[in-house]
Structures are given as C-alpha cells and as structure tokens.
Amino acid sequence: RLTGSPWRDDESSTGVTLCIAHCSSVQCITTGGHKVYEKVGNVLKLARKEAIASGIFFGTTGWSGNVTLLALLAYGGTLVSRGTISVGDLTSLLLYTVYVGSGLQMLTVFFSSIMRGIGAGVRIFELLDRTPAIPPDVGADVDSSRRGPIRFERISFEYPSRKGVQILKDLDFEVAIGESVAIVGQSGSGKSSINALLMRYYDPVRGKITFDGQDIREFKPSSWRHIIGVVPQDPVLFTGTIASNIAYGNEDATREQIEAAAREANCEFVWGMPQGFDTEIGRLSLSGGQRQRLAIARALLKKPAILALDEATSSLDATSEHRVNDAIDKILRSRQTTCIIVAHRLSTIARAERIVVLEDGHITESGTYRQLVNKKDSRFRTLMAAQLNAAAGESLIYKPPEPSLKAGREREEDL
Ligand SMILES: Nc1ncnc2c1ncn2[C@@H]1O[C@H](COP(=O)(O)OP(=O)(O)OP(=O)(O)O)[C@@H](O)[C@H]1O
C-alpha cells in the first residue's frame, strides 16, 4: 500500500496509456473518446483519494506542529514571566523545535517519494527478473555468411497461453537455399506462427526446425535472429533520422551501405526529402508503403541469409504495393537470400517460386503458381478464387514482374 500510486492501478493506467497511444483509433471507434474519459476518470478517482489522504496527513502533522509551538510559547512565556528561564532560553527552545519539526516534515515527504520510487522500481524489476523461456544468449553463434536449407520437420505447435489448441500439426516442408516460398492459407491458419517459430519467439511442442542440417535450438537466439531479415505487416519506426532507422540493429553500417539498401528497397522518396537521410521521423510519420520499404531496406542492410516477409503488402494501396513488390522482386532475383513470404495478395504470392497451402495446421498443397492454378479443384484456387477472378478480368491491365525465375515465366503466361 505504501509503495502505491494511482499509476500502480495496472488496469486503469494501462488503459489510459493504450488509449493515448492509439488515440486516433479510439476517436474513430468511440466517436468522442468515451473510453479515454472512463479510464482517465478511474485514475482521477485514485489520484483524488491519494490527495485526500496526503492532505489529511500533512494537514494533521502541520496543525499539530503549530499547536505544539503555540503551547510551547504559552508555557515558555509563563516560565519567562516567572523568571525561571530567560528570553534567550525560550527563543533557543522555539528555534530548535522549529528546526526539528521541519526536519521531520521533510523526512515524511522524502519517505513518501522513496516509497513511490520503490513502487515504480518493483514493476521494472519484476520485468527484469522474469526468466525468458528462450534465453537470448545461450547457444552457438551462427556465422552470418552461413547458408543452408531450412527444414520444418514434423512440427506441432500450440501457444503457451492457449494450451490444448494445436495451431500447427505435423507441419513438414523444406525451403532450399535462395528459394522463395509463399505460405498461403485462410486467416488464422497459422502462417504468422510459422514465422514466429522461425524467429524462435516460441519453440515447437514437437518436431524441429533445422538450418543447414542443424536444429535452430542449438543456436544462440540473438545470433540466429541476426541472420534473418523480417518485414512485418506494420513495421515499427523509431524516433530519429531515416538513416538511423534503416541502420537500426546495424549500428556499424556506413552511409554508403545505408543508401545502397534504400536504393535496393525502392526508397527513392528519401532523396526527395529536404534533409534526405537526415530527415527526422517519428513512429507514424511516413505512409504505410514508405514504412514498408524502409523496413525492407533495414532487413536488406543485414544481408540476411533468410528473409521473412509477413503480409508486407496486405495493407497497401495499389501503387505502394507495386513499389514494395518491385523491391521484393529484386531480392528474389538476386537469389542470395532464402525468402519465406506470408501473403494474402495474389500479386505478391505469384512472385514466389513455390507456393505452399497451409490448412488445418499442415501443408495440404505445394507447387509452383502455374501448377496450382492449373490444377483442377486445387485448394489454392479455392482460397484465391476472388483474386484469381479479378486478375483474370484484369489480365490485360495486370503486368507481371520481370520473369527472372522459371516460376516467374510460368506465372507470366498464366496471368
Ligand atoms: N500470441 C498468441 N497467443 C495465443 N494464440 C495466438 C497468438 N497469436 C496467434 N494466435 C492464434 O493462433 C492462430 C494462428 O494465428 P496466426 O497469426 O499464425 O494466423 P495467420 O494465418 O497468420 O492469420 P492472418 O492471415 O489473419 O494473419 C489463430 O487462431 C490465433 O488466434
């Protein structure tokens, strides 16, 4: 209780923090931010309680201090008038009492500040003391120049927070060096979970993932993650310059390397900015497509052995999607990097050399774009029916990317 403050009320303070962080969503969903007022109201109630409690405490101590002084003055005055003590004695006594009293009062203020500090510290230390299920610095280092196939061997997986719900069941597939594989499936089929396992945010319940024949659990997670470039659906930017955002995680990168990665990722918009790579940006100060391309540049700067694209084009408009797909194409064409692409958009999926269909936690279909599209009653066709029909209708308008791969050539004939 002593270490508490209104901000120790986790539910309310987390609610307020979330509401402020996502204020635009809150405003459009609740048309007036009622939730924010509700949460702020809760915090305000607690703050009022705290203010009343400290008001009573400081009021009482201040009042009793003053009453003590007056009593001393009255009693001391009578002693002086009787000649028992001198005026000097009384003055010294009063001064000492004032010093000791104000010292004690400062001690109580200091004490309450310390208690608040301890309260805040406890939360931080609770977090720091948590033992990660996957220690980030235990295991063998992975040489950043190492290349090899990735194998998902009979993987079964369930989230620790949802025991008993199997997300992946006996998942078995391989991605060769430099190959690009698109994972397709219905929403919630477990596509992103495959990436989460690859990144070792979680370990499978059964089975193993191997890289170059070695179980990835033998690698030090921080070192393993260093050879993987990730482009998520909603990339996070940090407050700082564009250059520092691209170089995030690669602090030793030179300006030339940063610019080369930006060029490869089609970040031409950076050169159009008044301060170029030194332009200061915030969390959301670029468009979705620009953020996506910046994330691709960030991933490319690592020269990753594996590139995991997780719905990188799902939320983009046609122009941004085209620019991002073009950047992805350049990577696929170089064949230096093994690519695992989780995507919903046909235009992105069709760029991969091989497509695997994920259903009910395992792979139900695998093949090139052409094989799956031409296969009668294929699951891929059912899943992509709407987009395939739209693509068929627009086949005269839709221009597929430069076919650098065999699969690309096949796909071009089909679209
Ligand atoms: N952190 C988590 N804890 C518990 N369950 C989760 C977690 N993340 C995802 N899930 C559940 O796992 C299942 C698969 O989720 P996943 O995100 O892998 O699907 P997805 O195929 O990528 O979906 P989408 O295409 O909509 O992104 C879903 O049922 C989801 O509710």
Does residue 159 have its Cβ closer than 6 Å to ligand 1?
A: yes
For position 400, what pLDDT does the model report? 47
Does residue 185 have its Cβ closer than 6 Å to ligand 1?
A: yes
Does residue 343 have its Cβ closer than 6 Å to ligand 1?
A: no
CA distance 55 to 166: 55
For position 175, what pLDDT does the model report? 93
**What ipTM goes with this model?**
0.96
For position 288, what pLDDT does the model report? 81
CA distance 116 to 7: 10
Residue nearest (by alpha carbon) to ligand 1 atom 17: 192
CA distance 38 to 320: 38
Tell which atom from ligand 1 comes closest to the C-alpha of 193: 18
Does residue 167 have its Cβ closer than 6 Å to ligand 1?
A: yes
CA distance 157 to 137: 23
CA distance 350 to 410: 10
Contact call for residues 180 and 354 (beta carbons, < 8 A): yes
> Which domains does the chain carry?
6-129 (1.20.1560.10), 152-414 (3.40.50.300)
For position 201, what pLDDT does the model report? 93
Give CA separation, 300 vs 119, 150, 348, in Å.
43, 19, 18
Residue nearest (by alpha carbon) to ligand 1 atom 11: 188
Q: Tokens at residue 278, please?
A: 């030194």
Tell which atom from ligand 1 comes closest to the C-alpha of 311: 27
For position 403, what pLDDT does the model report? 41
Q: Which amino acid does the sequence have at 107?
A: L
For position 249, what pLDDT does the model report? 82
Does residue 161 have its Cβ closer than 6 Å to ligand 1?
A: yes
Averaged pLDDT, groups of 10, the chain, 415 residues long = 50 61 57 65 86 87 88 90 89 89 82 84 88 88 90 94 91 91 90 92 94 94 91 85 89 90 87 89 80 88 88 72 78 79 85 90 90 87 80 56 46 45
Place of tokens 């909603």: 234
Residue nearest (by alpha carbon) to ligand 1 atom 28: 188
CA distance 79 to 69: 15
Among 189, 188, 187, 150, which Cα is nearest to 172's? Answer: 150
For position 10, what pLDDT does the model report? 56
Tell which atom from ligand 1 comes closest to the C-alpha of 233: 27
